[in-house]
Amino acid sequence: MSSVAAVSRDDQHRFSKPTVESIRLIAGFGIEGDSHAGATTQHRYLMKHDPTRANLTQVHLLPEELFGDVEGFVVGPGELGENVTTRGIDLMSIPLGARLHLGPDAVVEITGMRSPCHQIDKLQKGLLKKLIWKDADGCVVRRGGIMGIVIEGGVVTPGDDIRIVLPDGEPRTLGVV
C-alpha cells in the first residue's frame, strides 16, 4: 500500500523544510504557508527570468526509500526540500499528467521531475553525486523527486493513503520543471 510518510512546509526560502503534523493543499495555489505556493512561479531563479510563468512546482514529492539508498549519508523527511515524503511508490516511473490522490480529498497532478541542484552539497558535501549522475550511455539520471500542481485541495497527514490515477493515452515521460 502506498502512503504518505511525512509532510513538510516552510514559509521561508530555505533548502530544507521542517516536518509538520499536516499540510493544507489549496487548488491552483499549492501548500498553505509554504514559500513555493502561488499561481505563478515562486522559485527564486525562475522568478528572475519570468515572474509570470505558471507555477508547475507547487508540491515536491520524494520517496522515503531514497534515504536508504544514499549510502554514507543520513537524510530524513523534509531535508531535501520536499513537501510530501512518500512510501511504497516508484515516483520516478510515474508519467506526466498522472494524478496522485493524497488522503481523502487532495489531488496533485504531476508536472515533471526535480533536478537536484548544487544546494544539496551545502546540506551534506558529496550528496549531490548520489542524486544526479550520468549512466554508462551518457544519459543523466535524476533522483530528486517529482513536482506537481494542486488540482483539488485538502489536508494531508502522515499515514494517508496515496492512490495513482494514470492519464488517458500513451504515457509521457517526465521532463525537468
Instruction: Answer yes or no: is 134 within a domain.
Output: yes
pTM > 0.85: yes or no? yes
Give the domain extent around 151.
3-165
Q: Read off the pLDDT of each residue in 90-110 and give the average, rounded to a whole number.
A: 97
What mean pLDDT, rounded, does the chain reach? 94
Instruction: Answer yes or no: is 176 within a domain.
Output: no
Q: Read off the pLDDT of each residue in 45-64 and give the average, rounded to a whole number.
A: 87
Query: Which pLDDT score, from 0 to 100, does residue 47 have?
Result: 66
118 vs 45: which has the higher pLDDT: 118
Instruction: Answer yes or no: is 171 within a domain.
Output: no
Query: Which pLDDT score, from 0 to 100, does residue 49 have?
Result: 78
3-state secondary structure of 12: coil
CA nearest neighbour of 64 among 23, 19, 32: 19
> Which tens digit of pLDDT belongs to each residue from 56-72?
999 999 999 999 999 99
DSSP per-residue letters across 61-73: EEETTHHHHSTT-
| Burial category of 54 from C-beta neighbours within 10 Å (exposed 0-12, middle 13-18, buried 19 and up) | middle
Q: Read off the pLDDT of each residue in 161-166 and give the average, rounded to a whole number.
A: 98
> Which tens digit of pLDDT belongs to each residue from 32-45?
999 999 998 887 67
Residue 92 predicted with pLDDT over 90: yes
All 3 cell numbers of residue 135? 549512466
Q: Could you give the number of structural domains in the chain?
A: 1
Instruction: Answer yes or no: is 173 within a domain.
Output: no
CATH number at residue 143: 2.40.33.20
CB 176 within 8 A of CB 114: yes
Instruction: Answer yes or no: is 110 within a domain.
Output: yes
